């Protein structure tokens, strides 16, 4: 399902990256530029296998995503310009990487699935 979604949106700048160890997918990140903005990005998902959580893999994916955005053809985003959807990511990772929560739109995507703007 993710491959189909990514394929359909690749032309719009959507990106999906995986973190692998010995051929096994340990986690992934999915992000895309926000339409009609010059430096805002959506980080839709960062997910890490439950068995490997709390080992810094979510942070590794986040740092890779930031670096990829900076290297893209779009202008270099500042942290405050990234918009992050609700993520299955340890809450410590975002503050440790310079993100402060600006707003939360509760139940934005579905009940209990919030949009967090940082």
pLDDT computed for residue 111 by the predictor: 87
d(CA 92, CA 73): 30
Average pLDDT, the chain: 76
Residue pair 46/88 in contact (Cβ under 8 Å)? The answer is yes
pLDDT digits (tens, 9 = 90+) for 47-103: 888 777 778 888 899 989 888 888 876 544 444 444 444 344 445 666 777 777 788
pLDDT computed for residue 60 by the predictor: 92
For residue 12, is pLDDT > 60?
Answer: yes
What pTM was estimated for this model as a whole?
A: 0.68
pLDDT computed for residue 2 by the predictor: 66
d(CA 14, CA 23): 24
Torsion angles phi and psi, residue 81, rounded to 5: -90, -5
For residue 41, is pLDDT > 80?
Answer: yes
Domain locations along the chain: 2-117
User: Quick one: fold of 2-117?
Assistant: Aminopeptidase (3.40.630)
């Amino acid at each position: 399902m993710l491959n189909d979604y990514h394929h359909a949106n690749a032309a719009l700048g959507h990106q999906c990256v995986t973190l692998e160890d010995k051929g096994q997918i340990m986690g992934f990140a999915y992000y895309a530029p926000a339409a009609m903005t010059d430096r805002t990005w959506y980080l839709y998902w960062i997910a890490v296998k439950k068995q490997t959580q709390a080992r810094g893999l979510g942070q590794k994916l986040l740092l890779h995503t930031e670096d990829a955005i900076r290297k893209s053809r779009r202008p270099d985003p500042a942290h405050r310009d990234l918009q992050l959807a609700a993520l299955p990511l340890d809450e410590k990772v975002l503050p440790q990487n310079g993100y402060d929560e600006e707003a939360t739109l509760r139940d934005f995507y579905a009940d209990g699935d919030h949009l967090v703007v940082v």
